[in-house]
Homo-oligomer: A and B are copies of this chain.
Amino acid sequence: MRFGVNHTPSVGWFHSWLDFSPSDTARDMEAIASLGADHVRIFPLWPVVQPNRTLIRPSALADVAAVVDIAGSFGLDVNVDALQGHLSSFDFVPSWLESWHRRNMFTDPDVVASTAAYVRALAAAVADRPNLLGITIGNEVNQFAHAPHPTPHATTAEQGHAWAATMVAAARDGLSSGAAGAAGAAGSVGPEARHGSAPPPAPADGERPGPLVTVAQYDAAWYDDAQPFGPEQAADHGDATVTHSWVFNGSAALHGALGPGSVRHGEYLLQLAAAWNRDAARPNWLQEVGAPTNVVAPADAASFTEQTIRHVLGAQQVLGVTWWCSHDVSRSLADFPELEYDLGLFTNDGRLKPAGEAFAALARSGAAAPTAAPATALVLDDVLPDGSPRYGTRADCAPGGRFAAAWLALAEQSSDGRGPQVVLRSRLADEALVRSRGITSTVDVPDDLDGTALTVAHPATMP
Protein backbone atom coordinates (compact mmCIF):
# COMPACT_ATOMS: atom_id res chain seq x y z
CA MET A 1 0.00 0.00 0.00
CA ARG A 2 1.60 3.20 -1.23
CA PHE A 3 0.96 6.68 0.05
CA GLY A 4 1.44 9.57 -2.29
CA VAL A 5 0.51 13.13 -3.03
CA ASN A 6 -0.45 14.95 -6.20
CA HIS A 7 2.06 17.76 -6.52
CA THR A 8 0.52 21.20 -7.03
CA PRO A 9 3.52 23.52 -7.21
CA SER A 10 3.35 26.11 -4.48
CA VAL A 11 4.89 28.85 -6.62
CA GLY A 12 3.04 29.60 -9.84
CA TRP A 13 0.90 26.45 -9.75
CA PHE A 14 1.43 24.44 -12.95
CA HIS A 15 2.34 27.63 -14.78
CA SER A 16 5.65 27.18 -13.00
CA TRP A 17 6.67 24.94 -15.91
CA LEU A 18 7.18 28.24 -17.75
CA ASP A 19 9.66 29.32 -15.08
CA PHE A 20 11.01 26.01 -13.93
CA SER A 21 12.78 26.38 -10.60
CA PRO A 22 14.66 23.40 -9.18
CA SER A 23 14.79 25.03 -5.74
CA ASP A 24 11.05 25.72 -5.62
CA THR A 25 10.49 22.13 -6.70
CA ALA A 26 12.90 20.84 -4.08
CA ARG A 27 11.16 22.77 -1.30
CA ASP A 28 7.81 21.28 -2.29
CA MET A 29 9.24 17.77 -2.53
CA GLU A 30 10.92 18.09 0.82
CA ALA A 31 7.58 19.03 2.35
CA ILE A 32 5.80 16.13 0.68
CA ALA A 33 8.48 13.67 1.78
CA SER A 34 8.11 14.96 5.35
CA LEU A 35 4.58 13.53 5.36
CA GLY A 36 5.90 10.02 4.98
CA ALA A 37 4.68 9.86 1.39
CA ASP A 38 6.54 7.51 -0.93
CA HIS A 39 5.52 9.04 -4.25
CA VAL A 40 4.22 12.10 -6.05
CA ARG A 41 2.21 12.52 -9.23
CA ILE A 42 3.32 15.38 -11.48
CA PHE A 43 1.66 17.17 -14.37
CA PRO A 44 3.44 18.75 -17.31
CA LEU A 45 1.20 21.05 -19.34
CA TRP A 46 0.60 19.68 -22.81
CA PRO A 47 0.75 22.99 -24.73
CA VAL A 48 4.00 23.87 -23.02
CA VAL A 49 5.71 20.62 -24.01
CA GLN A 50 4.16 20.27 -27.48
CA PRO A 51 3.27 23.79 -28.67
CA ASN A 52 3.26 22.71 -32.31
CA ARG A 53 2.06 19.30 -33.39
CA THR A 54 5.55 18.37 -34.53
CA LEU A 55 7.52 20.29 -31.91
CA ILE A 56 8.13 18.43 -28.65
CA ARG A 57 10.43 20.72 -26.71
CA PRO A 58 13.57 18.97 -25.47
CA SER A 59 13.96 21.53 -22.70
CA ALA A 60 10.46 20.82 -21.41
CA LEU A 61 11.22 17.11 -21.30
CA ALA A 62 14.45 17.89 -19.49
CA ASP A 63 12.51 19.91 -16.91
CA VAL A 64 10.17 16.98 -16.28
CA ALA A 65 13.13 14.67 -15.89
CA ALA A 66 14.69 17.15 -13.47
CA VAL A 67 11.56 17.10 -11.31
CA VAL A 68 11.73 13.31 -11.23
CA ASP A 69 15.35 13.52 -10.11
CA ILE A 70 14.65 16.16 -7.48
CA ALA A 71 11.79 14.09 -6.08
CA GLY A 72 14.09 11.09 -6.06
CA SER A 73 16.61 12.98 -4.00
CA PHE A 74 13.95 13.15 -1.28
CA GLY A 75 13.16 9.45 -1.60
CA LEU A 76 10.03 9.96 -3.64
CA ASP A 77 8.94 7.92 -6.62
CA VAL A 78 7.20 9.84 -9.36
CA ASN A 79 4.25 9.23 -11.62
CA VAL A 80 4.22 11.48 -14.67
CA ASP A 81 0.91 12.39 -16.33
CA ALA A 82 1.21 13.30 -19.98
CA LEU A 83 -1.92 14.99 -21.30
CA GLN A 84 -2.90 18.03 -19.26
CA GLY A 85 -5.34 18.54 -20.70
CA HIS A 86 -7.46 19.42 -17.69
CA LEU A 87 -6.39 20.61 -14.24
CA SER A 88 -8.50 22.23 -11.55
CA SER A 89 -11.14 23.60 -13.91
CA PHE A 90 -8.65 24.85 -16.53
CA ASP A 91 -8.25 23.19 -19.90
CA PHE A 92 -4.84 23.29 -21.55
CA VAL A 93 -5.21 22.35 -25.17
CA PRO A 94 -2.53 23.19 -27.74
CA SER A 95 -3.37 25.81 -30.34
CA TRP A 96 -3.05 23.14 -33.02
CA LEU A 97 -6.21 21.54 -31.64
CA GLU A 98 -8.28 24.68 -31.10
CA SER A 99 -10.23 27.23 -33.08
CA TRP A 100 -9.25 27.17 -36.78
CA HIS A 101 -7.30 23.96 -36.12
CA ARG A 102 -9.93 22.13 -34.12
CA ARG A 103 -9.97 18.43 -34.91
CA ASN A 104 -11.25 15.53 -32.92
CA MET A 105 -8.77 14.85 -30.14
CA PHE A 106 -9.54 11.15 -30.03
CA THR A 107 -10.06 10.19 -33.64
CA ASP A 108 -8.26 12.51 -36.06
CA PRO A 109 -5.35 10.42 -37.36
CA ASP A 110 -2.80 13.27 -37.38
CA VAL A 111 -3.82 14.39 -33.92
CA VAL A 112 -3.76 10.91 -32.45
CA ALA A 113 -0.38 10.14 -34.01
CA SER A 114 1.12 13.35 -32.70
CA THR A 115 -0.45 12.93 -29.28
CA ALA A 116 1.07 9.47 -29.15
CA ALA A 117 4.42 10.94 -30.18
CA TYR A 118 4.25 13.24 -27.16
CA VAL A 119 3.33 10.43 -24.77
CA ARG A 120 6.16 8.34 -26.22
CA ALA A 121 8.72 11.14 -25.95
CA LEU A 122 7.70 11.98 -22.39
CA ALA A 123 7.93 8.37 -21.31
CA ALA A 124 11.31 8.00 -23.03
CA ALA A 125 12.62 11.11 -21.30
CA VAL A 126 12.09 9.62 -17.84
CA ALA A 127 12.31 5.92 -18.63
CA ASP A 128 15.72 5.39 -17.10
CA ARG A 129 14.93 7.09 -13.80
CA PRO A 130 15.09 4.51 -11.01
CA ASN A 131 12.32 6.29 -9.10
CA LEU A 132 9.83 6.40 -11.97
CA LEU A 133 6.58 4.96 -10.64
CA GLY A 134 4.82 5.21 -13.94
CA ILE A 135 3.27 7.13 -16.77
CA THR A 136 -0.38 8.08 -16.81
CA ILE A 137 -1.71 8.97 -20.24
CA GLY A 138 -3.22 12.15 -18.87
CA ASN A 139 -5.38 13.62 -16.18
CA GLU A 140 -9.04 12.73 -16.69
CA VAL A 141 -8.77 13.11 -20.44
CA ASN A 142 -12.21 11.52 -20.72
CA GLN A 143 -13.63 14.89 -19.69
CA PHE A 144 -12.98 16.02 -23.26
CA ALA A 145 -14.95 13.15 -24.76
CA HIS A 146 -18.51 14.05 -23.79
CA ALA A 147 -20.87 16.47 -22.09
CA PRO A 148 -20.83 18.29 -19.75
CA HIS A 149 -17.60 19.52 -21.32
CA PRO A 150 -18.52 22.81 -23.01
CA THR A 151 -17.04 21.71 -26.37
CA PRO A 152 -16.62 17.95 -26.27
CA HIS A 153 -14.80 15.91 -28.89
CA ALA A 154 -17.53 13.38 -29.62
CA THR A 155 -16.24 9.86 -29.15
CA THR A 156 -17.69 6.37 -29.11
CA ALA A 157 -16.71 3.66 -26.65
CA GLU A 158 -14.91 1.82 -29.46
CA GLN A 159 -12.97 4.96 -30.35
CA GLY A 160 -12.16 5.40 -26.68
CA HIS A 161 -10.73 1.90 -26.58
CA ALA A 162 -8.66 2.51 -29.70
CA TRP A 163 -7.33 5.80 -28.39
CA ALA A 164 -6.44 4.37 -24.98
CA ALA A 165 -4.72 1.39 -26.60
CA THR A 166 -2.70 3.68 -28.85
CA MET A 167 -1.60 5.89 -25.97
CA VAL A 168 -0.70 2.99 -23.69
CA ALA A 169 1.34 1.45 -26.49
CA ALA A 170 3.10 4.77 -27.04
CA ALA A 171 3.95 5.06 -23.36
CA ARG A 172 5.28 1.49 -23.24
CA ASP A 173 7.25 2.11 -26.38
CA GLY A 174 8.75 5.24 -24.87
CA LEU A 175 9.61 3.47 -21.64
CA SER A 176 11.22 0.64 -23.51
CA SER A 177 13.21 2.73 -25.95
CA GLY A 178 14.10 5.37 -23.37
CA ALA A 179 15.45 2.78 -20.98
CA ALA A 180 17.29 1.04 -23.82
CA GLY A 181 18.64 4.34 -25.03
CA ALA A 182 19.86 5.23 -21.57
CA ALA A 183 21.49 1.86 -21.20
CA GLY A 184 23.15 2.23 -24.57
CA ALA A 185 24.09 5.86 -24.77
CA ALA A 186 23.50 8.29 -21.96
CA GLY A 187 21.84 11.46 -23.08
CA SER A 188 20.26 9.92 -26.14
CA VAL A 189 16.74 10.25 -24.77
CA GLY A 190 15.04 12.93 -26.75
CA PRO A 191 11.85 13.89 -28.48
CA GLU A 192 12.39 11.82 -31.58
CA ALA A 193 9.52 9.58 -32.51
CA ARG A 194 10.29 5.97 -31.83
CA HIS A 195 8.50 2.93 -33.14
CA GLY A 196 7.70 -0.58 -32.10
CA SER A 197 5.47 -1.44 -29.20
CA ALA A 198 7.09 -4.25 -27.26
CA PRO A 199 6.32 -3.94 -23.55
CA PRO A 200 9.21 -3.31 -21.20
CA PRO A 201 11.03 -6.47 -20.18
CA ALA A 202 9.62 -8.21 -17.13
CA PRO A 203 11.70 -7.67 -14.02
CA ALA A 204 13.71 -10.58 -12.73
CA ASP A 205 12.77 -11.94 -9.31
CA GLY A 206 13.45 -9.42 -6.64
CA GLU A 207 13.89 -6.53 -9.01
CA ARG A 208 11.75 -3.47 -8.78
CA PRO A 209 8.80 -3.85 -11.18
CA GLY A 210 8.94 -1.70 -14.29
CA PRO A 211 7.07 1.57 -14.42
CA LEU A 212 3.30 1.33 -14.62
CA VAL A 213 1.33 2.70 -17.54
CA THR A 214 -2.15 3.85 -16.57
CA VAL A 215 -5.24 5.57 -17.95
CA ALA A 216 -6.94 8.02 -15.58
CA GLN A 217 -10.59 8.98 -15.84
CA TYR A 218 -12.95 11.11 -13.87
CA ASP A 219 -15.83 9.33 -12.24
CA ALA A 220 -18.33 9.70 -15.08
CA ALA A 221 -16.53 6.60 -16.31
CA TRP A 222 -18.21 4.70 -13.47
CA TYR A 223 -21.41 6.68 -13.02
CA ASP A 224 -22.56 8.09 -16.36
CA ASP A 225 -23.74 5.58 -18.95
CA ALA A 226 -23.29 8.15 -21.71
CA GLN A 227 -19.60 8.76 -21.03
CA PRO A 228 -17.68 6.98 -23.80
CA PHE A 229 -14.75 6.17 -21.53
CA GLY A 230 -16.30 3.71 -19.12
CA PRO A 231 -15.28 0.93 -16.76
CA GLU A 232 -13.88 -1.22 -19.55
CA GLN A 233 -11.71 1.61 -20.84
CA ALA A 234 -10.42 1.92 -17.27
CA ALA A 235 -9.89 -1.76 -16.60
CA ASP A 236 -8.75 -3.07 -19.98
CA HIS A 237 -5.81 -0.75 -20.64
CA GLY A 238 -2.51 -0.30 -18.91
CA ASP A 239 -1.19 -1.97 -15.80
CA ALA A 240 -3.60 -0.82 -13.09
CA THR A 241 -7.15 0.47 -12.86
CA VAL A 242 -7.24 4.09 -11.78
CA THR A 243 -9.99 5.84 -9.88
CA HIS A 244 -10.45 9.46 -8.82
CA SER A 245 -12.75 10.10 -5.88
CA TRP A 246 -14.43 13.47 -5.49
CA VAL A 247 -17.37 13.62 -3.12
CA PHE A 248 -18.72 16.80 -4.67
CA ASN A 249 -20.23 14.36 -7.16
CA GLY A 250 -23.35 14.02 -5.03
CA SER A 251 -21.93 11.74 -2.33
CA ALA A 252 -21.46 14.47 0.24
CA ALA A 253 -24.73 16.14 -0.63
CA LEU A 254 -26.55 12.86 -0.08
CA HIS A 255 -24.65 11.42 2.85
CA GLY A 256 -23.02 14.39 4.53
CA ALA A 257 -19.33 15.11 4.44
CA LEU A 258 -18.51 12.51 7.06
CA GLY A 259 -21.34 10.11 6.27
CA PRO A 260 -20.45 6.59 5.22
CA GLY A 261 -21.26 7.28 1.59
CA SER A 262 -18.64 10.02 1.61
CA VAL A 263 -15.80 8.54 3.62
CA ARG A 264 -16.30 5.19 1.87
CA HIS A 265 -16.46 6.71 -1.59
CA GLY A 266 -12.83 6.01 -2.36
CA GLU A 267 -13.15 2.44 -1.10
CA TYR A 268 -16.30 1.96 -3.14
CA LEU A 269 -14.65 3.14 -6.35
CA LEU A 270 -11.78 0.73 -5.73
CA GLN A 271 -14.28 -2.13 -5.42
CA LEU A 272 -16.09 -1.04 -8.57
CA ALA A 273 -12.75 -0.91 -10.36
CA ALA A 274 -11.86 -4.40 -9.19
CA ALA A 275 -15.14 -5.74 -10.51
CA TRP A 276 -14.25 -4.77 -14.05
CA ASN A 277 -10.70 -6.12 -13.94
CA ARG A 278 -10.30 -9.26 -16.00
CA ASP A 279 -7.36 -10.36 -13.84
CA ALA A 280 -7.83 -10.66 -10.08
CA ALA A 281 -4.22 -9.65 -9.57
CA ARG A 282 -4.52 -6.33 -11.38
CA PRO A 283 -3.80 -3.47 -8.98
CA ASN A 284 -6.28 -0.67 -8.33
CA TRP A 285 -5.05 2.82 -7.66
CA LEU A 286 -6.98 5.57 -5.92
CA GLN A 287 -4.94 8.15 -7.76
CA GLU A 288 -6.90 11.19 -6.65
CA VAL A 289 -8.96 11.83 -3.56
CA GLY A 290 -9.34 15.04 -1.65
CA ALA A 291 -11.52 16.96 0.78
CA PRO A 292 -13.24 19.67 -1.26
CA THR A 293 -14.45 22.54 0.89
CA ASN A 294 -17.59 23.09 -1.15
CA VAL A 295 -18.98 19.98 0.53
CA VAL A 296 -16.49 19.16 3.30
CA ALA A 297 -16.12 21.89 5.91
CA PRO A 298 -12.49 22.70 6.62
CA ALA A 299 -13.00 21.57 10.20
CA ASP A 300 -13.98 18.13 8.90
CA ALA A 301 -11.12 17.76 6.44
CA ALA A 302 -8.81 15.88 8.79
CA SER A 303 -11.48 13.44 9.85
CA PHE A 304 -12.57 12.99 6.25
CA THR A 305 -8.99 12.27 5.26
CA GLU A 306 -8.36 9.82 8.06
CA GLN A 307 -11.64 7.92 7.59
CA THR A 308 -11.27 7.84 3.81
CA ILE A 309 -7.82 6.30 3.97
CA ARG A 310 -8.80 3.80 6.68
CA HIS A 311 -11.63 2.57 4.50
CA VAL A 312 -9.35 2.35 1.48
CA LEU A 313 -7.19 0.02 3.54
CA GLY A 314 -10.16 -2.33 3.64
CA ALA A 315 -10.06 -2.98 -0.07
CA GLN A 316 -7.89 -5.61 -1.78
CA GLN A 317 -5.25 -5.19 -4.47
CA VAL A 318 -4.83 -1.53 -3.68
CA LEU A 319 -1.69 -0.13 -5.25
CA GLY A 320 -1.98 3.01 -3.24
CA VAL A 321 -3.72 6.23 -2.48
CA THR A 322 -2.48 9.53 -3.87
CA TRP A 323 -3.98 12.52 -2.11
CA TRP A 324 -5.04 15.67 -3.93
CA CYS A 325 -3.06 17.71 -3.25
CA SER A 326 0.23 18.91 -1.80
CA HIS A 327 -0.28 22.69 -1.63
CA ASP A 328 -3.20 25.09 -1.61
CA VAL A 329 -3.41 27.25 -4.72
CA SER A 330 -2.13 30.73 -4.00
CA ARG A 331 -4.77 33.41 -3.54
CA SER A 332 -2.68 35.52 -5.90
CA LEU A 333 -3.94 33.36 -8.78
CA ALA A 334 -7.43 34.09 -10.07
CA ASP A 335 -10.44 32.20 -11.31
CA PHE A 336 -9.99 28.88 -9.56
CA PRO A 337 -13.08 27.32 -8.05
CA GLU A 338 -13.06 28.35 -4.41
CA LEU A 339 -12.35 24.83 -3.18
CA GLU A 340 -9.00 24.70 -5.02
CA TYR A 341 -7.58 27.30 -2.70
CA ASP A 342 -7.98 24.89 0.23
CA LEU A 343 -7.28 21.38 -1.07
CA GLY A 344 -3.66 21.22 0.00
CA LEU A 345 -2.17 19.15 2.79
CA PHE A 346 -0.02 22.24 3.14
CA THR A 347 -1.03 25.85 2.87
CA ASN A 348 0.42 27.71 -0.05
CA ASP A 349 3.16 29.07 2.17
CA GLY A 350 4.06 25.65 3.46
CA ARG A 351 2.31 25.19 6.81
CA LEU A 352 1.05 21.69 7.50
CA LYS A 353 -2.75 21.58 7.75
CA PRO A 354 -4.80 19.23 9.92
CA ALA A 355 -5.64 17.07 6.91
CA GLY A 356 -1.92 16.87 6.24
CA GLU A 357 -1.32 15.68 9.79
CA ALA A 358 -3.99 13.03 9.38
CA PHE A 359 -2.48 11.89 6.09
CA ALA A 360 1.02 11.81 7.53
CA ALA A 361 -0.04 9.79 10.58
CA LEU A 362 -1.43 7.07 8.32
CA ALA A 363 1.40 7.22 5.81
CA ARG A 364 3.93 6.79 8.58
CA SER A 365 1.97 4.07 10.39
CA GLY A 366 2.90 1.34 7.96
CA ALA A 367 -0.78 0.56 7.67
CA ALA A 368 -1.56 -2.10 5.12
CA ALA A 369 -4.68 -3.79 3.88
CA PRO A 370 -5.45 -7.27 5.18
CA THR A 371 -4.08 -10.01 3.01
CA ALA A 372 -7.42 -11.61 2.37
CA ALA A 373 -9.98 -9.90 0.19
CA PRO A 374 -13.53 -9.37 1.49
CA ALA A 375 -15.28 -12.69 0.99
CA THR A 376 -18.66 -11.32 0.04
CA ALA A 377 -19.43 -9.70 -3.29
CA LEU A 378 -22.45 -7.69 -4.31
CA VAL A 379 -23.65 -8.56 -7.80
CA LEU A 380 -23.81 -5.68 -10.26
CA ASP A 381 -26.38 -6.19 -12.97
CA ASP A 382 -24.34 -5.13 -15.95
CA VAL A 383 -26.32 -7.25 -18.40
CA LEU A 384 -29.93 -7.85 -19.30
CA PRO A 385 -31.37 -11.34 -18.93
CA ASP A 386 -30.42 -12.05 -22.55
CA GLY A 387 -26.79 -11.22 -21.77
CA SER A 388 -26.66 -7.93 -23.65
CA PRO A 389 -25.14 -4.89 -21.91
CA ARG A 390 -27.60 -3.01 -19.73
CA TYR A 391 -27.72 0.78 -20.19
CA GLY A 392 -28.31 2.16 -16.72
CA THR A 393 -25.72 0.05 -14.98
CA ARG A 394 -23.53 3.06 -14.35
CA ALA A 395 -26.41 5.22 -13.14
CA ASP A 396 -27.17 2.48 -10.63
CA CYS A 397 -23.60 2.75 -9.41
CA ALA A 398 -23.69 6.53 -8.98
CA PRO A 399 -24.07 8.00 -5.49
CA GLY A 400 -27.64 7.37 -4.39
CA GLY A 401 -28.20 4.78 -7.12
CA ARG A 402 -29.69 1.38 -6.29
CA PHE A 403 -26.40 -0.42 -6.47
CA ALA A 404 -24.46 2.21 -4.57
CA ALA A 405 -27.05 2.21 -1.83
CA ALA A 406 -26.99 -1.58 -1.55
CA TRP A 407 -23.19 -1.66 -1.43
CA LEU A 408 -23.16 0.98 1.26
CA ALA A 409 -25.72 -0.86 3.35
CA LEU A 410 -23.68 -4.06 3.18
CA ALA A 411 -20.49 -2.19 4.01
CA GLU A 412 -22.02 -0.64 7.09
CA GLN A 413 -23.37 -4.01 8.25
CA SER A 414 -20.09 -5.85 7.80
CA SER A 415 -18.51 -7.26 10.94
CA ASP A 416 -14.97 -6.13 10.01
CA GLY A 417 -15.90 -2.74 8.64
CA ARG A 418 -14.80 -3.62 5.14
CA GLY A 419 -17.12 -2.98 2.24
CA PRO A 420 -17.97 -5.94 0.03
CA GLN A 421 -16.36 -6.73 -3.27
CA VAL A 422 -18.36 -6.26 -6.46
CA VAL A 423 -18.87 -8.90 -9.09
CA LEU A 424 -20.44 -8.40 -12.48
CA ARG A 425 -23.48 -10.50 -13.32
CA SER A 426 -21.85 -11.14 -16.68
CA ARG A 427 -18.82 -12.71 -15.02
CA LEU A 428 -20.52 -14.74 -12.29
CA ALA A 429 -20.09 -17.86 -14.36
CA ASP A 430 -16.33 -17.34 -14.61
CA GLU A 431 -15.57 -19.55 -11.66
CA ALA A 432 -11.82 -19.21 -11.97
CA LEU A 433 -12.02 -15.45 -11.81
CA VAL A 434 -14.47 -15.47 -8.92
CA ARG A 435 -12.35 -17.94 -7.03
CA SER A 436 -9.11 -16.08 -7.66
CA ARG A 437 -10.72 -12.95 -6.27
CA GLY A 438 -11.45 -14.72 -2.99
CA ILE A 439 -15.20 -14.35 -3.36
CA THR A 440 -17.01 -17.04 -1.42
CA SER A 441 -20.51 -15.61 -1.33
CA THR A 442 -22.54 -13.27 -3.49
CA VAL A 443 -25.46 -11.05 -2.68
CA ASP A 444 -27.98 -9.57 -5.08
CA VAL A 445 -29.24 -6.03 -4.78
CA PRO A 446 -32.54 -6.41 -2.90
CA ASP A 447 -35.64 -5.83 -5.02
CA ASP A 448 -37.22 -3.67 -2.36
CA LEU A 449 -34.27 -1.33 -2.00
CA ASP A 450 -35.43 2.21 -2.34
CA GLY A 451 -32.41 3.71 -4.01
CA THR A 452 -33.04 6.84 -6.01
CA ALA A 453 -30.41 7.52 -8.60
CA LEU A 454 -29.06 11.01 -8.35
CA THR A 455 -27.87 12.75 -11.41
CA VAL A 456 -24.14 12.87 -10.87
CA ALA A 457 -22.93 16.39 -11.02
CA HIS A 458 -19.73 17.01 -12.93
CA PRO A 459 -19.16 20.65 -12.28
CA ALA A 460 -16.33 22.70 -13.66
CA THR A 461 -14.87 22.48 -10.20
CA MET A 462 -13.45 19.04 -10.47
CA PRO A 463 -9.71 19.00 -10.03
Chain A residues with a Cβ under 8 A of chain B:
12-13, 15, 18-19, 47-48, 51-55, 57, 59-60, 89-93, 95-96, 98-102, 110, 114, 149-151, 332-335, 460
A427 to B47, CA, bound (A): 50
Cβ 8 A contact of A55, one of B15, B48, B90: B15
Pick the 6 closest A-B CB pairs, nearest first: A100-B460, A91-B99, A15-B51, A54-B334, A53-B334, A90-B95
* Min CB gap A46→B, angstroms: 11
A54 to B332, CA, bound (A): 7
27 pairs, CB–CB < 8 Å, chain A vs chain B: A15-B51, A15-B57, A18-B18, A18-B51, A18-B57, A19-B59, A52-B334, A53-B335, A54-B333, A55-B332, A90-B95, A90-B99, A90-B100, A90-B101, A91-B95, A91-B98, A91-B99, A91-B100, A92-B95, A93-B98, A93-B99, A99-B149, A99-B150, A99-B151, A100-B460, A114-B334, A151-B151
Q: Does B150 contact A102, Cβ atoms closer than 8 Å?
A: yes
Chain B: which residue is nearest A461 at the CB level? B100
Q: Does A18 contact B99, Cβ atoms closer than 8 Å?
A: no
Q: Does A335 contact B52, Cβ atoms closer than 8 Å?
A: yes
A99 to B460, CA, bound (A): 10
Report chain B residues within 8 Å CB of A13: 52
Report chain B residues within 8 Å CB of A18: 18, 48, 51, 57, 59-60
Chain B: which residue is nearest A111 at the CB level? B335
Chain B: which residue is nearest A52 at the CB level? B333
Q: Does A101 contact B54, Cβ atoms closer than 8 Å?
A: no
Q: Does B57 contact A19, Cβ atoms closer than 8 Å?
A: yes
* Min CB gap A422→B, angstroms: 32
Q: Does B55 contact A333, Cβ atoms closer than 8 Å?
A: yes
A12 to B55, CA, bound (A): 8
Report chain B residues within 8 Å CB of A460: 100-101
* Min CB gap A120→B, angstroms: 16
* Min CB gap A322→B, angstroms: 24
Report chain B residues within 8 Å CB of A96: 90, 334-335
* Min CB gap A336→B, angstroms: 9
A53 to B330, CA, bound (A): 13
A295 to B149, CA, bound (A): 40
Q: Does B89 contact A100, Cβ atoms closer than 8 Å?
A: yes
Given A91-B95, A95-B90, A334-B114, the answer on whether A52 and B15 have CB atoms closer than 8 Å is yes
Given A12-B55, A19-B59, the answer on whether A335 and B101 have CB atoms closer than 8 Å is yes
A98 to B102, CA, bound (A): 13
A333 to B96, CA, bound (A): 11
A440 to B90, CA, bound (A): 59
Which of A51, A102, A334 has the most chain B CB atoms closer than 10 A to its own CB? A51
* Min CB gap A49→B, angstroms: 9
A15-B57, A101-B460 given; name 7 further pairs at CB < 8 Å. A18-B18, A19-B59, A91-B98, A96-B334, A99-B149, A100-B150, A114-B334
Chain B: which residue is nearest A460 at the CB level? B100
Report chain B residues within 8 Å CB of A95: 90-92
Q: Does B60 contact A89, Cβ atoms closer than 8 Å?
A: no
* Min CB gap A362→B, angstroms: 33
A100 to B149, CA, bound (A): 8
Which of A12, A59, A90, A91 has the most chain B CB atoms closer than 10 A to its own CB? A90
* Min CB gap A64→B, angstroms: 14
Report chain B residues within 8 Å CB of A149: 99
* Min CB gap A191→B, angstroms: 11
Report chain B residues within 8 Å CB of A102: 150
Report chain B residues within 8 Å CB of A59: 18-19
* Min CB gap A214→B, angstroms: 24
A96 to B87, CA, bound (A): 12
* Min CB gap A14→B, angstroms: 9
Chain B: which residue is nearest A19 at the CB level? B59
Report chain B residues within 8 Å CB of A57: 15, 18-19
Chain B: which residue is nearest A48 at the CB level? B18
Report chain B residues within 8 Å CB of A47: 47
A92 to B98, CA, bound (A): 9
Cβ 8 A contact of A101, one of B51, B89, B151: B89
Report chain B residues within 8 Å CB of A335: 52-53, 96, 101
* Min CB gap A90→B, angstroms: 4
